[in-house]
């Protein structure tokens, strides 16, 4: 809604690229082909968009996949506190960094000269959020989407140019009406373009000395864990109807061959061609000038509803199929339950034969039920909403294809043998394993067994576990004395972190 109040001065011309993209036909599963044996297109990215959108503003998924592909405008409401830690009592007069949790700001104050400036927003701040571990100054991908906005190209050699990056982003922000930019590195930070406009000082305090580590590392982790999972950092309110994704194959087709054959963790924006960069920048400019979406769809909740329906059931199904002695009958019941709104009375196997075409109406109903209304108001959707729709369609279609395939085979097996053989269950296991790998939902990555009440399930990554940056496996760590677990092997205090002098840590965090 807040975009409607933007002054006319922000109405910049939209390039023909942006218009062209809003009018492209959907490259999605709008087909009427309900063949249970037809696999999804190898290059389709709907599942990546789905998991990225489901994980926006969450520490967990953006640590697991640190190379962000999404740029989303949003709002920080009036009355929100922001924190800025310093080694002196000077209030910044220009652009600087602030955090949403004081635990993050505290890292930037000196041990014996710890100043914390607390600000409050006096009006909604207009922000642009970069997903991924986007505040980590690493040249292997997390800064790529910011590079597009600051330099107009991905330039890993400028990874440490953070003040220049801030200056360029704020220049763009001035012309487009953004007050700040939001990034994450363990905690969420706000790159605030003006320390007096839209914010006022609540307090400037010199704080009591505290032993820096292990304390601060761990209190920082407390704050990270608060935003681990959905809905994440709710002080940033995103407008998904203006989301830009580099996984959008109509927006950035040059990245399709770049990603081809690479694991998801290795996906990045380096390799994008100039035409696609211009198209992305046109979409960023169009955020300021295009009218708000009238669709009324709550995309975040739609994606949540789809995850809720299937995440636990698929996880349990996978576990039954891999650990039960004779898993077929029990697995079949779980699949029946997941498909219960779609199991049509009229859909029954033919008297003989193993063909499953009779189940096509169940496949279609399952695949379309959450999205058919949205498909029907297609013309009212923004380009971002078209992407979200395709993503929900591709995702539910593949879930339904797998589950309906299992159900149909189960029905035929019960017709012929009144039971489900172990060999059939083994085939199902392959299908379910494949589906779970294909979906790759971040909420399935967890500590098993679950952690104790005074522990936290920690996903290693930026800033304290960079050695596990590319292969994070969650583990339980003790968040309170006796501290343990940030280091992979060691169960004692994190020695090499406690010995880091503050300035080095500053360097690690901000270069």
Question: What residues make contact with ligand NAG under the rule CB under 6 A?
Answer: 41-43, 94, 194, 196-197, 256-257, 260
For residues 260 and 352, which CB has a smaller minimum distance to ligand NAG in the complex? 260
Q: CB of residue 191 vs ligand NAG: minimum separation in angstroms? A: 14
For residues 95 and 283, which CB has a smaller minimum distance to ligand NAG in the complex? 95
| Residue nearest to ligand NAG according to CB distances in the complex | 197
Calculate helix-pair angle for 383-417, 46-54, nearest 10 degrees.
110
Where do the DSSP E strands lie in 241-378? 244-245
The strand pairing partners of 191, in sequence order, are 97, 181
Residue 96 CA to its chain's centroid (Å):
25
For residues 122 and 322, which CB has a smaller minimum distance to ligand NAG in the complex? 122
For residues 257 and 353, which CB has a smaller minimum distance to ligand NAG in the complex? 257
- What distance in Å separates the CA atoms of residue 454 and residue 285, rounded to the nearest whole number? 46
Give me the residue label for tokens 């009591």: 208
Q: CB of residue 386 vs ligand NAG: minimum separation in angstroms? A: 20
Q: What angle do CA 171, 53, 442 make, to 5 degrees?
A: 125
Sequence-distant (6+) residues with CB within 8 A of 150 are 164, 165, 168, 169, 172
Where do the DSSP E strands lie in 163-313? 180-185, 187-192, 199-207, 237-238, 244-245
Q: CB of residue 93 vs ligand NAG: minimum separation in angstroms? A: 6
Where do the DSSP E strands lie in 158-281? 180-185, 187-192, 199-207, 237-238, 244-245
- What distance in Å separates the CA atoms of residue 366 and residue 351, rounded to the nearest whole number? 24
For residues 197 and 422, which CB has a smaller minimum distance to ligand NAG in the complex? 197
For residues 261 and 351, which CB has a smaller minimum distance to ligand NAG in the complex? 261
Q: CB of residue 251 vs ligand NAG: minimum separation in angstroms? A: 15
Q: CB of residue 255 vs ligand NAG: minimum separation in angstroms? A: 10
Q: CB of residue 335 vs ligand NAG: minimum separation in angstroms? A: 28
Residue 396 CA to its chain's centroid (Å):
18
For residues 164 and 473, which CB has a smaller minimum distance to ligand NAG in the complex? 164
Q: CB of residue 55 vs ligand NAG: minimum separation in angstroms? A: 25
- What distance in Å separates the CA atoms of residue 226 and residue 213, rounded to the nearest whole number? 20
């Amino acid at each position: 809604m807040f975009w409607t109040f933007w002054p006319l001065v922000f109405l910049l011309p939209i390039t023909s690229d942006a218009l062209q993209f809003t009018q492209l036909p959907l490259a999605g599963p709008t087909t009427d082909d309900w063949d249970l044996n037809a696999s999804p297109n190898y290059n389709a990215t709907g599942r990546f968009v789905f998991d990225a959108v489901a994980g926006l503003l969450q520490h967990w998924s953006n640590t697991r996949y640190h190379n962000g592909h999404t740029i989303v405008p949003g709002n920080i409401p009036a009355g929100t506190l922001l924190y800025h830690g310093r080694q002196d009592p000077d209030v910044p007069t220009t652009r600087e960094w602030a955090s949403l949790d004081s635990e993050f700001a505290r890292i930037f104050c000196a041990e014996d000269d710890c100043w914390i400036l607390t600000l409050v927003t006096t009006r909604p701040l207009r922000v642009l959020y970069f997903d991924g571990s986007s505040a980590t100054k690493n040249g292997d991908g997390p800064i790529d989407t910011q590079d597009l906005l600051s330099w107009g190209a991905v330039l890993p050699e400028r990874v440490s140019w953070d003040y220049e990056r801030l200056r360029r982003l704020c220049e763009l922000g001035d012309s487009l009406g953004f007050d700040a930019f939001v990034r994450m590195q363990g905690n969420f930070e706000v790159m605030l373009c003006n320390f007096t406009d839209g914010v006022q000082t609540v307090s400037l305090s010199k704080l009591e000395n505290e032993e820096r580590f292990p304390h601060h590392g761990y209190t920082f982790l407390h704050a990270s864990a608060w935003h681990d999972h959905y809905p994440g950092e709710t002080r940033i309110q995103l407008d998904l109807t203006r989301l830009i994704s580099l996984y959008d194959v109509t927006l950035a087709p040059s990245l399709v061959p770049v990603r081809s054959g690479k694991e998801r963790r290795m996906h990045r924006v380096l390799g994008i061609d100039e035409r696609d960069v211009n198209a992305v920048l046109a979409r960023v400019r169009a955020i300021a000038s295009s009218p708000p979406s009238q669709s009324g769809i709550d995309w975040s909740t739609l994606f949540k509803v789809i995850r809720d329906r299937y995440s636990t059931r698929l996880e349990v199904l996978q576990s039954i199929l891999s650990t039960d002695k004779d898993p077929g009958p029990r697995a079949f019941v779980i699949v029946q339950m997941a498909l219960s709104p779609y199991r049509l009375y009229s859909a029954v196997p033919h008297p003989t034969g193993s063909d499953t075409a009779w189940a096509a109406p169940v496949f279609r109903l399952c695949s379309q039920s959450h999205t058919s209304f949205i498909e029907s108001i297609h013309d009212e959707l923004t380009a971002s909403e078209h992407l979200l729709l395709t993503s929900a369609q591709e995702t539910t279609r593949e879930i339904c294809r797998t589950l309906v395939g299992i159900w149909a085979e189960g029905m035929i097996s019960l017709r012929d043998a009144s039971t489900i053989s172990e060999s059939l269950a083994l085939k199902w296991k392959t299908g379910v394993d494949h589906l779970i790998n294909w979906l790759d939902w971040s909420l399935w990555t967890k500590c098993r067994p679950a952690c104790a009440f005074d522990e936290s399930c920690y996903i290693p990554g930026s800033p304290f576990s960079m050695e596990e940056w590319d292969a994070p496996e969650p583990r339980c760590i003790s968040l309170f004395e006796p501290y343990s677990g940030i280091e992979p092997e060691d169960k004692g205090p994190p020695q090499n972190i406690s010995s880091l002098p503050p300035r080095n840590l500053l360097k690690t965090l901000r270069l």
